[in-house]
Structure 1
C-alpha cells in the first residue's frame, strides 16, 4: 500500500495535481452570507461555525448512533434465529444432511440480503447529513462523508463476524456467514449497478423511439444520452472495495477460499465496470484529485486491524494449540502477542521507510517553489524600480 501511495503521488506530480489542496476554493454547493475574504479579497459565502457544529453534534452523530444500534439489533436478531435453526436442524442424520445444511444456511442468506439495502440506505443518509453540515471545502466534505461510511460499514459488515469468531469461537458460523455475505454481495452489486440500470435504459430507449417524431431536431447522441443513468460518483466503488478488502484481510485465516472468491469477483467486476461506464451511466465529469483521500486512511486502519485479527484467529485454532502443547496457556498467549507486535512493528517500519512522495518528486517541488519565489522577487524588484523612476521624474 505504501508503494502504491508513493506511485500515485508520482503520477499526481506528473499530472499537476499534487499540490491542488494547498489552496482550495469553496465548494460550489457551499452556502452562506457573502463576506469579503481576507485571502482572495473577494466576496465568498461564510457560514457560522456554531451552526455547522450544531448540525454535526446534535443531528449527524445521534442519527449515526441510531443507525449503528439498528445494525446491531439486526445482527443479534439474526444470531437468535441462527441458533434456533441450528438446534432444530442438527447434522445427526446423514440422509437429511443436505436439507439440514440448506435450512441452516437460510438465516445467513437472509441476513446477507438485508445488509445490502441497509448499506444503501445508510449511504444516502450519510450523504444527506454531510450535505446538511455544509462543509466549506471539498476535502472536508469528503473526509466527513468517508468517516461516516467507514464507521457504519465496518460495524454493519464486520462486527458480526468478529462476534462469531472471538466471542462464540464458532468458526463454522464464521465461514458460513462470510461465504453468504461475499456471494450475496457480489450478486446484489451486479443487479443494482448493472442489470437493473441497463434494463431501465432499454425501457427509456423504447419510450424515446416512440416519441422520436416529437423531437426530430434532437440529435441521436442526445437521445442516447437521455437513456443513460446519471453518474453517482465513486463512493459506491470505494465502499465495494472496502467491504471486499475487509473480508479478505480480516478473516482469510478462517476461510482462505475467500481470497479466490474475491479474485473471481474482481475479474467479473473489471468487465462489469467497463460495461457500466460505457453502456449504463452517463459520462462523468473529470475532477482533479491527487490521491484517494480519506479512503487511504480507512484501508490503512483496516490493514492494522487485520494483523491483530489474523494473529488471534491463528492462535485460536486447535491444531496450532496442539503444536505448542508444551507451553502453558499464558506462555502461548504471550508468544502470539509478541508475534502480533512484531508484525505491527514491521508494518509501521515499512510505512516509515517508504516515503509518501518520491525523492525526485520532492526535489521538483522544492525547485518549483524556489523558481516561483525568485520570480516573485524579480516582480517586486521591478515594481520598486518603476516606483523610484516615477519619483525621480517628479
Structure 2
C-alpha cells in the first residue's frame, strides 16, 4: 500500500523541484535589491537582512507548494482505503484459519496470573467450566488500573518536559553567543534540536518499556491477549507523546504567540521562537525527517545487533556447560543457543509499523517524502526480519487470535486524527491561505507579486529598548506579522485583513475535514468488510454444516429404531404429529386454564 503513496509523494516533490524558480515568495526573499532589514531575533541581537534566508526559503518551497493540498487529501483517502482493505484481508485470514468463532473467554489463563493468585478464591469459568482464581473488580482491579495509568500520565509529563527543554535550547541558540552563526543557523539550529530530541526519545523509551510491564502486571489480567492489549495501550500512548510532541509544537504552537517588537511574550526570560517569513513548514519537515528516518534506522540496527549479541552469549554459556559435562553437541543443543521469541515477540514489530503509519498520515503535508522513506525501510526490514527469524530466534509457539486486536483501533483513530492535523497544518503553518487571500482580495492584478511585503509588518526602531539604539542608521525594521504600521491611528494593532485570514483558515479546516470525511465514508460504504466471494463461502459452509448435522441425527435415530425411522413418510408423520400435539395442547389450555400449562403438565405431555 505504500507504493502508490510513495509515487504520489515523489511526484509532488518533483513538482516543487521543477517549479522552484517560479515561486514568487522565494524569489522576493532572495532578491538582494529589496534590502529588507529584519528586526533582531533576540533582545541583544543585531539587525539582519532577509536575503540571508534565501536557501531556507527555496528549500521550504519543495514541501510547501500547491501540490501539498492535493497530497494531504490523497493521503487521507489512502489511509481509509488501507484500513478497509486490511479489514477484508483480516477477514480472509480469520476464515482460513477457522477463527471466526474464537472467543477470548476460551483462552487459557496466563501462568503468571495463576502463580500470583494461587491463594485467592476460585470460581468456575462459564465457558470452559474449569476452576480459576477470582480477582475482585472494585477492591483490586480498579485501584491497580488507576495507579497504573496515573504513573503513565506522570511519565508522559516527563516526555513533554523533555520536549520543552529542547524548545528552550532552540530559544537560547538564537542569541548572539550561540555557536551557530551566519546563514546556516536557520537550518543547523532545528537540525541539532531534532537530534537532541531523538536521543531523549530513545532514552525515555527504555525506561518506560520497563515500567509499563510492571504496571500491567499489577492489573492482574487473566489472559495473554488482555495483558498484551493493556500493555500495548500504555506503550503506544507514551510513544505517541514521546515521538509526536515536538512535531505538534512546531506545527501548531511555534510562532503563534510571539507578540511583536518591544512587547514580546517571554518564557523564562527568553523570547519565543519565531517562524521565518517562509513559514514554519520547513522546520517541521526537518524535525519530522530526523525523527522518522533516525528512529527507523536506529530500530533496524538494534533489531539485528541485540539478537546477535544474545545468540553469542547463549553460545558462550552452552560451550562452558559442554566443557564441564563433556557432552556431544546435538541439534537440540544448537537450537537452545538461539534466542527465545517470548510472549511479546511481535509487539515491537507492530509498534514500529503503527508509529510509521502515524508519521505517514498525521504529518504528511509538510513531508511528502515520508511514504517513500517508509517504503524503503520496509523493503530493507523485510529481508532483515527474515534473516533474524531464521538465524537468531527459536521457532515461535503459535497463538490463536481473531485479529490484530487493539492495534486496529489505534490505526482507525490515527486515520481520523490525520484529517484534522493535516487541515490545521495547511491552514495555520503554511502560506497557502494568506497567499490566496492576497491574490483574490488585496492585489488588483490577482497575482502573488508583492506578497512578501504584504506579510511583513513595520516597526519603528525608536520604540525599542536602549539595547538596540546603538544602530542609528536603521529607522524601520520588518517582522513577519499582520499588524498596523507605527504611523497608523492604532499602531501595532491587528488589521482587518488578519481577521479575514483567520476566518478563512477556520473555514478551510471545517470544509477540508467535512469533504475528506465524506469521501472516507463513501469509501467505507463501497468496500464491504468481508469480500463477496468469502461471504458466499461462509454461507455455503454454514449450509453444509447444518446438512451434515441433520444427516448425522437421522442416522443416529435410524440406528436406535431401524424400522421406519429415516424414511420420508416417517419425517412427514413426525411433523404432523408435533403439529397435532400443539393444537391439542392449546385446546386443552382454553377449556381448562387452571392446571394446563403448569410444569407438571408439560413434563407429562413431553414424554414419548
TM range (shorter): 0.7 to 0.9
Q: TM-score by structure 1 length?
A: 0.85
Structure 1 residue aligned with 2:434: 321
Residues 281, 40 of structure 1: CA spacing in aligned structure 2 closer, same or farther, 3 A cutoff? closer
Counterpart-to-counterpart distance in 2, 1:352 and 1:236: 33
Q: Which residue of 2 aligns with 1:195?
A: 305
Where does 1:53-92 land on structure 2 (aligned, <5 Å)?
53-57=142-146, 59-87=147-175, 88-89=177-178
Describe the SS at the equivalent of 2:106.
coil
Distance apart, 1:229 and its partner CA? 2.3
* CA distance in structure 1 between the partners assigned to 2:330 and 2:297 by the alignment: 33
**Local SS of the residue matching 1:213:** helix
Q: Give the conservation status (yes or no) of the 8 Å contact 1:186–1:265.
A: yes
Provide the rounded CA distance (Å) in 1 between the counterparts of 2:179 and 2:510.
37
Counterpart CA distance in 1 for 2:99 and 2:303 is: 30
Q: 2:316, 2:247 → 1: CA distance? A: 45
Shift of 1:224: 2.5
Q: Write the distance in 2 (CA, Å) between the matches of 1:22 and 1:110.
A: 43
1:356 & 1:145 partners in 2: Cα distance? 28
2-structure distance, mates of 1:349, 1:144: 33
2:381 maps to 1:299: no
Q: Does 1:186 align with 2:296?
A: yes
CA offsets per residue over residues 9-41 of structure 1, 9 Å max, x none?
112201212221275234233334332334443
Give the alignment of 1:162-241 within 5 angstroms: 162-169=248-255, 170-206=280-316, 208-209=318-319, 211-217=321-327, 219-232=329-342, 233-241=345-353
Q: 2:424 aligns with which of 287, 291, 312?
A: 312
1:7 paired with 2:102, answer no
1:36 paired with 2:118, answer no
CA separation of 1:35 and 1:274: change in aligned 2, threshold 3 A = same
Q: Distance in 2 between matches of 1:101 and 1:187?
A: 22
Equivalent position SS for 2:323:
coil
Distance apart, 1:347 and its partner CA:
1.4
What aligned pairs does 1:83-162 form with structure 2 within 5 A after superposition? 83-87=171-175, 88-89=177-178, 93-94=182-183, 97=184, 101-102=187-188, 105-162=191-248
From 281, 284, 296, the equivalent of 2:393 is: 281
Residues 85 and 104 in structure 1, CA contact (< 8 A), matched pair in contact too: no
Contact 1:142–1:293 (CA under 8 A) maintained in structure 2: no
Q: Structure 1: state its 5+ residue gaps.
A: 388-394
Matched-pair contact (CA < 8 Å) for 2:105–2:127: no
The Cα offsets for residues 261-310 of structure 1, whole Å up to 9 and x where unpaired, read as: 22222222112211221222222111122321110111111111111211
Contact 2:190 2:286 in 1 (8 A): no
> Scaled by the length of structure 2, what TM-score is found?
0.57
Alpha-carbon spacing, 1:27–1:343, altered in 2? closer, same or farther (3 Å): same
Q: 1:343 to 1:53 in 2, by over 3 A?
A: same
Deviates more, 1:71-80 or 1:362-371: 362-371
- DSSP 3-state at the match of 2:524: helix
Give deviations 1:339-393, integer Å, cap 9, x for gaps. Answer: 221101221332343222234434444555566667777888969x979xxxxxx
- Which stretches in structure 2 are left out of the alignment for 5+ residues? 1-82, 256-279, 442-499, 562-608
* SS of match in other structure, 2:174: helix
C-alpha separation in 1, matches of 2:104 and 2:318: 47
Q: Which residue of 1 aligns with 2:482?
A: none
Maintained 8 Å contact 2:212/2:234: yes
Higher helix fraction (1 or 2):
1
Report what 2:133 is aligned to.
45
Q: Is the 8 A contact 2:194 2:287 kept in 1?
A: yes
The structure-2 alpha-carbon separation of the partners of 1:241 and 1:41, relative to structure 1 and needing over 3 Å to count, comes to: closer
Instruction: Report the CA distance shift for 1:303/1:121 in structure 2 as closer, same or farther (over 3 A).
Output: same
Q: Distance in 2 between matches of 1:140 and 1:161?
A: 32
